[in-house]
Amino acid sequence: MTSVLELENLEVVYHHVATAIQGVSLRVPPRSIVALLGTNGAGKTTTLRAISGFLGADDAQIVGGRVVFLGEAVTGRPPHTLARRGLVLVPERDKVFETLTVRENLRAIVPGRRADRGAARPPVTLDQVFHYFPVLAERRRQLAGYLSGGERQMLALATALLCRPRVLLVDELSLGLAPLVVESLMTMVARLRDDLGLAVLLVEQNAGAALAIANYGYVLEHGRIVYDGSGDRLLAHEDVREFYLGVGRSPGRKRYTDVKQYRRRRQWF
């Protein structure tokens, strides 16, 4: 199947010396959710910033490989160019203008012109956004700074939708949120995939929540892909369950590769 987004042996270096991403390759097919899993420091957010053009602010650069979007190499292009083409980042943590109302946050988005985007998707209207996120309609006159964590995530997703995305890059959607809120947000991401035909690259530490909606997943550790497979396959895989889902017989292992080495050693006995 043709991919809408593909990384080919991507390598990223910080401060000209520290390698953060080493030969990462992955594919995001159309109308799919692909989960990128890993612990803090694995390189997940760096991968998203490399794709979306936001590396420059971190004194980092792509030194190898390439990013291919809709069949065209877009490696290193600036964020505004990529967003106009439909590659839209929903960044981690604070994603809203706190001193603006919900409605003002949404009105601040200026969608890219059709000429900038080729065969662009039809625009998403404010009414559609409020249909998907009715709580935002109720809070439209409220300052965004007074929203709950879950409501801020909804506003961040809604803002991204107004950019007319083809691919959403979502960074740590579940961060700091209660389980019921996480479940609701993940359900919404799956609905947006199905209703709007979006593709989603979802970076998450909450492996269980991500794999519950993902068509495919990759496990990233120390800047390398160490395992990949369908969402069901990863959920059923003993090592992934042991390390990321807390189910298994080797407690205290700190890394996925530790679990793999532990299992190899155990086979000798």
Confidence at residue 121, expressed as pLDDT on a 0 to 100 scale: 62
Confidence at residue 123, expressed as pLDDT on a 0 to 100 scale: 78
Tell me the three-class secondary structure of 17-57, residue by residue. Answer: CEEEEEEEEEEECCCCEEEEECCCCCCHHHHHHHHHCCHHH
Q: Give the relative orientation of helices 149-161 and 179-196 as an angle to the nearest 10 degrees.
A: 10
Confidence at residue 268, expressed as pLDDT on a 0 to 100 scale: 33
Confidence at residue 247, expressed as pLDDT on a 0 to 100 scale: 62
Confidence at residue 6, expressed as pLDDT on a 0 to 100 scale: 97
The domains of the chain, with CATH numbers, are 5-236 (3.40.50.300), 237-269 (no CATH)
Q: How much is the pTM?
A: 0.87
Confidence at residue 235, expressed as pLDDT on a 0 to 100 scale: 86
Confidence at residue 258, expressed as pLDDT on a 0 to 100 scale: 55
Confidence at residue 266, expressed as pLDDT on a 0 to 100 scale: 38
Q: What does the alpha-carbon distance between residue 219 and residue 152 come to, in Å, rounded to a whole number?
A: 27
Mean pLDDT by 10 residues, the chain (269 residues): 92 89 96 93 92 86 95 94 93 84 89 48 85 96 95 94 94 92 95 96 92 95 93 86 67 51 40
Confidence at residue 241, expressed as pLDDT on a 0 to 100 scale: 80
